[in-house]
Each structure stands twice: as C-alpha cells, then as structure tokens.
Structure 1
Amino acid sequence: MAAAVLPLCTTPAKADAPARARDRPSACALPGATGWTDEGHDTDYSVFQRPAGTIKVAMIFVDFPDAPATETPASDAARITPGAEWVWKASYGKAWLAMTQHPRWVRMPHASTDYGFARGLSHETHEAYIKDAVTAADPYVDFSRYDMVYVVPTRNASAISFTPTYIYEPGTQGVVADGKRLKWAVTFGQDMWHWDQRLVGHETAHTFGLPDLYAFDTGGGTHRFVGGWDVMGLVSGAGSQYFAWQSWKLGWTGDGQVVCRASRGRDTVHLTAVEYGGGTKMAVIRTGPTTAYVVESRRAAGADARACSTGALVYKVDSSVETGKGPVRVVDANPSATPPSGCQPLDDAPYKAGQSFTDADAGVRIEVQGSGTYGDTVRVTKS
C-alpha cells in the first residue's frame, strides 16, 4: 500500500564533508517544557497516543431532541474518511487511521444547545458530551475494540459549532465503556463542512501530542506564525504538510534523515522535499536549551500541490512556548513582497537559490546554494 501512494525521491541523500564532525541528531532534539502539547521530543505516551501502526477509530453518529437528523450518516462520514488517506501519506505510511463507521443515528439525552459549545467548552463539559454520546451508542458498539472515538453530529445541530479534541486527564474518572477507558476522541462540529479532510490530520495529531501553531491571540493575525505551511496552523493552507520537525517528533522521519549542528561547524546538506519519501529531510541548528532553527525543502507536490511558493523553508522552534503562542515561527525570505493572488502572508516565505538567512546573535547562517526538482542544497553554519 505504501508503495502505491508514496512517491520516492530518486536523488540520493548525500552531504559534503563538514568542517567539523556532525553532531548526533539527538543533540538537536529539544525537551518539552510546557507540560502539555509542545514541540519537545519527549512526548509523554502515558497521556498521548503513539502515532504509529494501525489506530482503530470508532465513528459514531449523534442527533438531538432539538436537532433530529434528516441526512444519512454516510453523507457526513464522507467529509471525514478521506482524512485517513491524508494522514497515511503525510506519515510516509507509518500511521493508518482504521475508521469503522457505525452508521445509525443515536439520540443524545439533551438538546444540542445544552452542551456548551456556544459558550466555550471546558474539559469537563466536553467530557460530559462524549460520555453521553458513548452511552447512547454503547448498545450497538463494542468500544473495547477501539483506540479512539470520532463523534459526528447531524448537520442540523448548528449549536455544535466547532471540532475540539479530547484527551483524558490522568487520575480522573474519564469515559469508560465496555471495560475500556476511552482516552482520546475528536468531536466534530459544523466547521467540518468548512474544512476538508485535513481537519482529521489536525485534530487527531493533538492526540499524538502536537500543539496548535496558529495564534490564539488574533490581534496580529491568526496565522502570523506559520501561515499555511503546516496543518496544525491553517488547516486549509496551500502547503499544509506537517513540518519536518513535527514529523521527526512523531517518529515518521528518522534520525538518519536529520542533519544536526549543535556545536560550531558547517554542513552542506542536500535536502529532499518533505512531500516525498526518503532522503535527508531537514538540517537543524540548535541555539539554546529549548530553541533551534530548522531548514527543510518544500515542493508543490502531494498534500502541497497548491503551494504558492517552493524552496528552502526556514523556521525557529521553541519548545518552551505554549500551544497557540507560536512554538514554531516561519522566517519570511520575502517580507516586503505581496503574496500571489489567493495566497496568504508567509505563503511565499521559502528561500530560493542564492538567498540566505542570518541570525547574528544566535551565530546562525543558512545559505541556499541550489535547487532541483526534488529538493534544495543548503549550507548551514553555526559560529
């Protein structure tokens, strides 16, 4: 299956001899420092779900006394199921969401307006909603067979307005059915009709430990940190493949595909674009206890077929920054340029051959020496 859906780069990964010996990739892996979803590599898998292999998902469908369903469950499921293939490709065949539909409407005990979505949703209120949905479906579903649950409401339930992710809080009662604690769930809302299958990639990745990359404080623009370059930012972004850093954190990109510069030195690296399988995926220059610069290659292919620009994408990672406050920030190579029609600010951020980025205070320089069909050649220096 992987061979059928994953294009492989035919350009071999190679690198010139560095001025000094390269550092081990582990020297560039940052520790988590927020106690929740962040960009650290030490994900707590007693809380979050391992993003590998087959993940069994029960998809249940709910309606309400004030919003009975008039459509078929299948019509709603069709908005969600393509997300499994999207995640499969984005993970380079490392994770498969095996969604099992239970195609009948089950009636919730309360009106849709009673579940608190319009007022903002606390963890406890969200958990109560999931508990009602699971209880209603339990006569027809053996929840002991599944790793997580997708709760899909009728399109008529306008009060269920958005799509949050649920993660069990250790030490609490949580949601239990058929002898199993259900630790992860996504409850879909009306915004599923606005976003596409990538909503599955965004919300499910929260159960893997990934933070939001858009801004919770929208005063300076919701997508001012990463634009549309990662699905954890703008879901419908023109180039919304996961960053190479995210893929490394999730284990989808291996240590052997990472060039690390934690000590002084220089490396010339041939990067294969993240949209393709194989090759070196990124160069990381560590700059502090929780910070690093990353450069990766992006191409208009696969999930990023609509990308507004291509080239070497540079961004800064800080694993001490909380979700929604900019733990990843893209560096714009063309800050004064107007993005192409239909594109957002930062969509034209990649560096082209001949361009370079310097952070003198951090002692970091990244130079793009050349580009080709499948990637870019960069020289990274830490002084």
Structure 2
Amino acid sequence: MRLLQRPRLRSTAALFTTLSAFAANSLVSGPSVADPFSTAPCALTRTAAHHSEGVDTWNSAYPRPSRSLDAVMVFLSFPDRAPMATPAELAADHFPATSRFFQEASYGRFTLRPHPLQRWIRMPKPSTAYAIQRDWSPEGRAAYLHDALAAADPHVDFSRYDLVYFVADPDAPGVDSDATKVVNLESPLHADGTDIRRVVTVFEKHPPDRLVLAHETGHVFDLPDLYHRPVDGKGDWDTYVGDWDLMGSQFGLAPELFAWHKWKLGWLEPRQVLCVRGPGPTRLTLEPLAAGPDVPVSRASGAPAFGLGGGAKLAVVRTGTDSVLAFEARGPVGADRAACRAGILVYRVSSGARSGRGPVEVVDAHPRSEACWENSVYPPLADAPVALGEHFTVPDNGVRVDVEDRTASGEWTVKITPGTKL
C-alpha cells in the first residue's frame, strides 16, 4: 500500500521535536497537535459501570498497583480427600510467574510479593458440600468464604496483606477449576481488625492454566473481563480482543496488558500518552508496548524498569463522550513474544461499558483474513495490527493510520489523521 511522503519540518516543530524526542518525536503538519503534556482531552471519565475503563480518577475501593503489594496464599483442604500436592508445589504453579508478569508489564513500577502458607488449612465440610461451580450460588459462595476465613484466621494475620488468595486442593472431588474468580463483597469480611473486600478463590487444577492468577489479580486492580461470553456458553469467547490482552484470555499469544490499562494502573507517565487532536494529520513515534527483563531502563526514582525507553507507548483519538480510539505498537517481544503479527494495534475503548460487555474492542485491519489458526484463541483477530507500509481507515469514524517506518531499535513511525466524522 502506498505511503504518503513525509512533509518538511517547520523550524518550530523541529525545535519542539528536539526538546521532546524522548516522548514523541512528533512531526506536525497543520493545526493538529500530539501533546504528551496534555492528556486530559483524551482521558475518559470513570463511570458507574463495573470495572469502568475511565482513567480520569482511580476507584479507591481497589488497591492500585503503583507500589509493592503483599498477597497471602492460604491452601484449603477438605475432609473428603487427602491432598496429593503440597502447598509449595501449588504456590510454584503461580509464582514467580505471576509476579514476573506484573513486574515486566509495569516496567518495574509494581511488585507483587506472595506469602504462601507452608501448611494445609482444613475446611470443616467436605468439598462437595459447597456446590462449587463457575456460576456459584451466593449462598454456597458465602458459606465457603465464611468457613475458609474462620479456619485460616488462627494461622494468618490478615492485617498484614493487601490481597488474599484462597487456594483449594485441586484434587478434592467437589472442586471445579472453572470456578476460579475474584469475589467482590458488598459487605466485607472482617479479620484481625481489617476489612477484606475481595478475595481470589482459586480452584485451578495442578498444573493450572497459564497466567490464570495474573488474570484474576487484574480484577483486584479494577480491570474488566474483555472476553465475550456466549449466552449458551457455546461459540467463540474471544471475539472482542482475541489474543491481545490478558484480561481477554490468559491463553492468548500476546497477553500483554493494553497500553490503556497501563495508563489506568499508573504505569505510564503522562508524556508517554499522546492525545491526537485537530483535523490535520499527526506523525508520531510509538515504542513497542511489551518489554522483557533483559532490556532495563533507568528511571529518575532509581527503581528498575523495563522497556526500550521512556518514549510514547499510547496514542489516543477522542471519538465521543465516553469513547476513544487507541493505538499502540505490538510485536514478538516480552510477554508478546508469541504474537502472531507485528504492527500498530487499533482498538476502541468505552468507559460506559461494563466488564464482559465489550469495554474494549480490537479493530481488525485485515477483516478478510485470519492467521495462526493452530494457536490463536481467535484467528480472525490474530492479524489485526496495521503492518509496516500499510494504511487503514477505521470504519464508522474515518480515522486513518499510516504505518510509515520502523527503526532498528523497534520504534514505529505512525501518522494518524482524525476523520471528518468525529
């Protein structure tokens, strides 16, 4: 596909680029501006929707992963089956993999510290007494949590921890691995002088699904489910985002959290988010979103971070009162190392859509094809990114993205032109 010729820089734009190259390398033509120091016009307002994608404020009911947090793992056995695995073996199913995922995804800004008990805690009833299943009855769930907390309280000082994982013996006959989830409590549990407002109930088989605990922990940080659940439970679950975010599928080829989520969680600096405004085209540089621990980046605070640099990770175009288009560079690096295709991923974000109802939808730049059908959770979206040398116009709003260049270090030069329909 044809690329547009790069326009000549005006001297003022060149000066701005020199001063701000670490953020955007922005080459501006016409009145359009990509200003890394003014993200407010593109920051969606948080709404009352469950796990709203608004980023203007933080929901204080959830712990924000902008510091180190401590998580206790309590291992629960039942009278109807002697455990076949040890607590240490079950802890190793999830850690250090879960901590490593968040360490890398946050560019070193967040550390999840697990504290697994070294013993089994015996539940008072058989596992079959709790009717454990994916769509658990409130009564069964409440009974399980009440008994688990009462059994564990003599052995755990819950006031010391920010997160609680109740891990059931995976071999007990009444345990259903599909029931692993976060339980949000309207009336908190109380122990050791502290309120426990949410608990991750883990019923995973041994060994478990890949990154399942990272997915559930994402809910503890107010991230929504991004998959589509068919009404009858049959059919495709991954039609909204495919492989492209852990909150869509922990089985995805590219499970890195969207840049929008990193902005929401406080892992991106304001200068790393570019709000594209105005009728004219804006040319900017985006760094790859994912990064591995082998590529350290220094930070002013002295804390470790990961990535190719401190440049822009996310570009945003406002499309409505509660909606935006987001643009980020994805490819086979870090958590995305198995990504099917590389390029600029485009997705819609709605702050008014609740968890599980499509708050994020990936826009397919290649709607007539699919890729990696043997490994992808949803092949029609596996080749969704706009590849090098391609251009793509987003249906319904006319926003156009041209992917013009990619440097040897992996940075992508992108031109975004807001549509006339905005």
**1:370 correspondence with 2:405:** yes
Percent identity of paired positions between Structure 1 and Structure 2: 38
Could you tell me how far apart the structure 2 residues matched to 1:159 and 1:26 are?
50
Q: 1:311 aligns with which of 336, 343, 363?
A: 343
**Preserved CA contact (<8 Å) 2:170 2:206:** no
User: 1:126-154: CA deviations, max 9, x gaps?
Assistant: 34322321211111111111111111111
Give the AA of the match of 2:362.
V
**Preserved CA contact (<8 Å) 2:93 2:208:** no
Q: 2:122 aligns with which of 100, 103, 107?
A: 107
More divergent stretch after superposition (113-122 vs 146-155): 113-122
Could you tell me how far apart the structure 1 residues matched to 2:26 and 2:219 are?
34
For 1:17, the equivalent position in structure 2 comes to: 28
What are the within-5 Å matches in structure 2 for residues 267-286 of structure 1? 267-276=282-291, 277=307, 278-286=310-318
For 1:353, the equivalent position in structure 2 comes to: 388
**Preserved CA contact (<8 Å) 1:368 1:377:** yes
**Preserved CA contact (<8 Å) 2:225 2:248:** yes
User: 1:34-68: CA deviations, max 9, x gaps?
Assistant: 43212111455332111111111111100111233
What are the within-5 Å matches in structure 2 for residues 47-66 of structure 1? 47-66=61-80
**1:222 correspondence with 2:231:** no
**1:37 correspondence with 2:37:** no
Could you tell me how far apart the structure 1 residues matched to 2:66 and 2:132 are?
31
More divergent stretch after superposition (131-140 vs 204-213): 131-140
Could you tell me how far apart the structure 2 residues matched to 1:84 and 1:154 are?
22
Could you tell me how far apart the structure 2 residues matched to 1:194 and 1:35 are?
31
For 1:67, the equivalent position in structure 2 comes to: 81
5+ residue gaps, structure 2, are 1-20, 292-306
**1:180 correspondence with 2:199:** no
Could you tell me how far apart the structure 2 residues matched to 1:52 and 1:12 are?
21
Give the AA of the match of 1:16.
L
For 2:110, the equivalent position in structure 1 comes to: 95
For 1:248, the equivalent position in structure 2 comes to: 263
Q: 2:334 aligns with which of 281, 302, 309?
A: 302
Could you tell me how far apart the structure 2 residues matched to 1:67 and 1:13 are?
58
Could you tell me how far apart the structure 2 residues matched to 1:119 and 1:245 are?
29
For 1:139, the equivalent position in structure 2 comes to: 154
Q: 1:338 to 1:122 in 2, by over 3 A?
A: same
Could you tell me how far apart the structure 1 residues matched to 2:58 and 2:125 are?
35
For 1:168, the equivalent position in structure 2 comes to: 185
**Preserved CA contact (<8 Å) 2:49 2:353:** no
5+ residue gaps, structure 1, are 1-9
Q: Give the C-alpha shift of residue 267 in structure 1.
A: 1.3
**1:27 correspondence with 2:59:** no
User: 1:263-299: CA deviations, max 9, x gaps?
Assistant: 4332111100001322110110110001111110012
Give the AA of the match of 1:79.
D
Q: Give the C-alpha shift of residue 202 in structure 1.
A: 0.9
**Preserved CA contact (<8 Å) 2:73 2:114:** yes
**Preserved CA contact (<8 Å) 2:315 2:328:** yes
Could you tell me how far apart the structure 2 residues matched to 1:106 and 1:202 are?
25
More divergent stretch after superposition (145-154 vs 119-128): 119-128
Give the AA of the match of 1:378.
V
Q: 2:222 aligns with which of 202, 209, 215?
A: 209
**Preserved CA contact (<8 Å) 2:325 2:347:** yes
Q: 1:44 to 1:113 in 2, by over 3 A?
A: farther
**Preserved CA contact (<8 Å) 1:299 1:374:** no
**Preserved CA contact (<8 Å) 1:34 1:319:** no
Give the AA of the match of 2:190.
V
For 1:154, the equivalent position in structure 2 comes to: 169
Q: Secondary structure at the match of 1:193?
A: coil
More divergent stretch after superposition (127-136 vs 102-111): 127-136
Calculate the aligned-residue CA RMSD, in Å: 2.1
Q: Give the C-alpha shift of residue 262 in structure 1.
A: 4.1
**Preserved CA contact (<8 Å) 2:341 2:382:** yes
Could you tell me how far apart the structure 1 residues matched to 2:395 and 2:264 are?
27
User: 1:5-37: CA deviations, max 9, x gaps?
Assistant: xxxxx9874111353234521111112334321
For 1:342, the equivalent position in structure 2 comes to: 375
